[in-house]
Amino acid sequence: MLINKEAIIVGAGLAGATIANILAKKNYKITVYEKNNFIGGNCYDYYKKGILIHKYGPHIFHTNKKKIYEFINKFTKLNNFINKVYVRYKNLLFPLPINFTSIKIIAKNDANYIIKKLKTKFGKTKLITLSQLKKINDKKIRKFYDFIFQNVYANYTTKMWGIKFNKVDPKTINRVKIILSDKHNYFPQDRYQGLPINTYTRMITEMFNHKKITINLKTDAKKILKFDTENKKIYLNKKEFNGLIFYCGSLDELCNYKFGVLPYRSLKIKFFFKKMVKFQQSAIVNYPDHPKMTRICEYKQMTQQRNINNTIISKEYPKSFVLSKNQNSQRFYPIINKKNLMKYKQYLKLFKIFSNFYPLGRLGLYKYFDMDDTIEYAMKLANNFH
């Protein structure tokens, strides 16, 4: 039983901010610990030479869940940006996800035949999966499938995850859609899309803006939290803590990697200042045939900053997360497979004995979360407490 309505949150990113805001409004005293010198987690954005950029690569909010949209709408308004991704493959430039425009550019003389066949087979269906396209018994469609499978998806995925396409988690592959129209929208099923007009950092700052919330930056949770497994007690700064603890970091780090390091993919992101108004066709262009780079992002197109004669782009180079003091490696995407999930469950088991400890967020739960998933999970968890 809790002695008082008090909670500790480790991590000042989107998950921590969501649960902090909700519990503070329920009159919980909230203390947030963040080891960085800024809040926002991987959503952190800032201005460089007057241009707003994202430190950890492009973040575009999208959801089809009205309650999630209404929640963030309390702290910011979204601009009207729609993510229209392109693929640059050799001398071709075409929309992604693949749509009828893409088919016309790639298949050329066979395009009208392929589009007609797809319309006939799927009728009013708006989206199909890559696996559905593969199952169609037609030589021209199979030739088109083979081209996009290998040159658009397999090459990109192998670079992104560092493993062959057929070894990637099926849930990740099932995210690949074909749009059966000329609609160009990377998130065609999501009604609500855009970026905060007042930056992600400001949005998350507003979420933490409550008299019951205190934030401590540059504080490593490992140095202030101690776990007594024998007596099932948790200590904060050497004093027993009976409130709630929400941990948004990686569980292996908290355990000094007792069972080994949980595998993640990371990114090396290089930023470049360009003396031009616009660098590329759209905010994001993928390069599946580049030997190392996956994509180039131009932030000004997403943030819709105008009347600026310069721009900044970033180039992304996937790599493995490496635990090293001498290497700047950031956890981005958990590598979800049976072996890694078993390792995560070993760590999770160590903490299940503590009734007041809750892992949270992309790292704490070892899950691939979009921003709306992160918010929704934190909201549901917060609803368990009164």
Q: What is the pTM of this model?
A: 0.93
The three-class DSSP label of residue 131 is helix
Identify the bridge partners of residue 225 per DSSP, sorted by sequence position.
236
Measure the CA dihedral 64/67/72/74, to 10°: 140
Residues 177 and 205 in one domain: no
> Is 162 found in the same domain as 15?
no
Task: Say whether both 168 and 141 belong to one domain.
Answer: yes
* Residue 45 tokens, joined: 């954005």
- Containing domain of residue 154, as a range? 98-184
Phi and psi, residue 376, nearest 5°:
-65, -45
**Cβ–Cβ under 8 Å, residues 274 and 297:** no
Determine the Cα–Cα distance for residues 377 and 348; give it in Å rounded to an integer: 17
Asked if residue 283 is part of any domain, the answer here is no
Domain boundary among 157, 184, 211: 184
Structure tokens at 323: 């635990």
A 10 A CB-CB count for 17 gives: 31
Task: Compute CA 228 distance to the chain's CA centroid, rounded to the nearest angstrom.
Answer: 34
Q: Report the C-alpha gap between 110 and 27 in whole angstroms.
A: 64
User: Does 281 map to a domain?
Assistant: no
* Listed residues 142, 160, 184: the one ending a domain: 184
Structural domain total, the chain: 2
Angle between helices 100-107 and 111-122 (to 10 degrees): 140
Q: Is residue 278 part of a domain?
A: no
Q: What is the dihedral of CA 272, 278, 282, 286, to 10 degrees?
A: -30
Q: How far is CA 115 from CA 71, 122, 153, 195, 288, in A?
A: 40, 11, 20, 33, 24
- Co-location of 251 and 353 in the same domain: yes
pLDDT of residue 2: 47
Would you state the pLDDT for residue 101?
A: 98
Per-residue pLDDT of the chain (386 residues; tens, 9 = 90+): 445 799 999 999 999 999 999 999 999 999 999 999 999 999 999 999 999 999 999 999 999 999 999 999 999 999 999 999 999 999 999 999 999 999 999 999 999 999 999 999 999 999 999 989 999 999 999 999 999 999 999 889 889 988 777 766 666 666 779 999 999 999 999 999 999 999 999 999 999 999 999 999 999 998 999 999 899 999 999 999 999 999 999 999 999 899 999 999 999 999 999 999 999 999 999 999 999 999 999 999 999 998 899 999 999 999 999 987 655 689 999 998 899 999 999 999 999 999 999 999 999 999 999 999 999 999 999 999 98
Instruction: Tokens 């390091």: give the residue.
Output: 261
Q: Which amino acid is at 378?
A: A
Is the CB of residue 334 less than 8 Å from the CB of residue 367?
yes
Residues 164 and 214 reside in one and the same domain: no
Q: From CA 166, how far away is CA 49, in angstroms rounded? A: 43
The C-alpha angle 175, 179, 183, rounded to 5 degrees, equals 125
Domain assignment of residue 311, yes or no: no
Number of other CB atoms surrounding residue 16 within 10 Å: 31
**227, 374: one domain:** yes
Residues 201 and 175 in one domain: no
3-class state of residue 255 by DSSP = coil
